[in-house]
Amino acid sequence: NAGVTQTPKFQVLKTGQSMTLQCAQDMNHEYMSWYRQDPGMGLRLIHYSVGAGITDQGEVPNGYNVSRSTTEDFPLRLLSAAPSQTSVYFCASSYSGASYEQYFGPGTRLTVT
Amino acid sequence: TQLLEQSPQFLSIQEGENLTVYCNSSSVFSSLQWYRQEPGEGPVLLVTVVTGGEVKKLKRLTFQFGDARKDSSLHITAAQPGDTGLYLCAGGRGAQKLVFGQGTRLTINP
């Protein structure tokens, strides 16, 4: 099993550009989530999904969209990038919900200039 | 305002010393997890505690969940350079959301 994979590993965007961060898992996990990690702030939940077709907002959802058309994939879209979105983004999955072990991907380091 | 406060945020000690990292909140959590993160990688789960007062041991690491399920601690005995990393606590808010502390960056010097 590959676990949780994320692409790209690194990305530089200009303000106003859009992009999609890809996340896939091969563990048949129902729960998937996106976090951003900033220095001194730990990980903050952006969006999460409890299954295909179901998504909900986390702590910091503004500026981000998600969809979950399959169990395996959970892409994160930045519609109009802003410098405040410069961060490291992690996708995670778990068997069922937040109280179960979260399996994290390797992260995407995004810089918005 | 950070829902989960970790202390200290930075800790640098010599190999062989003992240390304790704290994770505190004014809120009750249904469960509490501890993760360790290496540079350039995602966090990896160390332990989950779910019962107030619960103590779990993982080799030289001892984890405790407070009786009121509002706080937790991680104690490392005889720290080794391989223990170096970022330690994160995370509290379950209901079934669907996990809230992370800001992390403790631990450095063990040989």
Nearest residue on chain B to A46, judged by CA atoms? Answer: B97
Mean per-residue pLDDT, A80-86: 97
CA distance B72 to chain A (A): 16
Question: pLDDT digits over B34-62, tens only?
Answer: 999 999 999 999 999 999 999 999 999 99
pLDDT at B27 over 70: yes
Q: What are phi and psi of A93, to 5 degrees?
A: -140, 155
Residue of chain A minimizing CA distance to B49: A99
Spatial separation of the C-alpha atoms in residues B40 and B10, rounded to whole Å? 18
Q: Do A98 and B41 touch (CB under 8 A)?
A: no
Asked whether the beta carbons of residue A102 and residue B2 sit closer than 8 angstroms, the reply is no
Q: Are strands A43-51 and A31-37 parallel, antiparallel or unpaired?
A: antiparallel
> CA geometry: angle at A30 spanning B34 and A91, to 5°?
55
pLDDT given at position B2: 61
- Say what the pLDDT of residue B1 is: 55
**Pick from A58, A59, A90: which is nearest to B42 by CB?**
A90
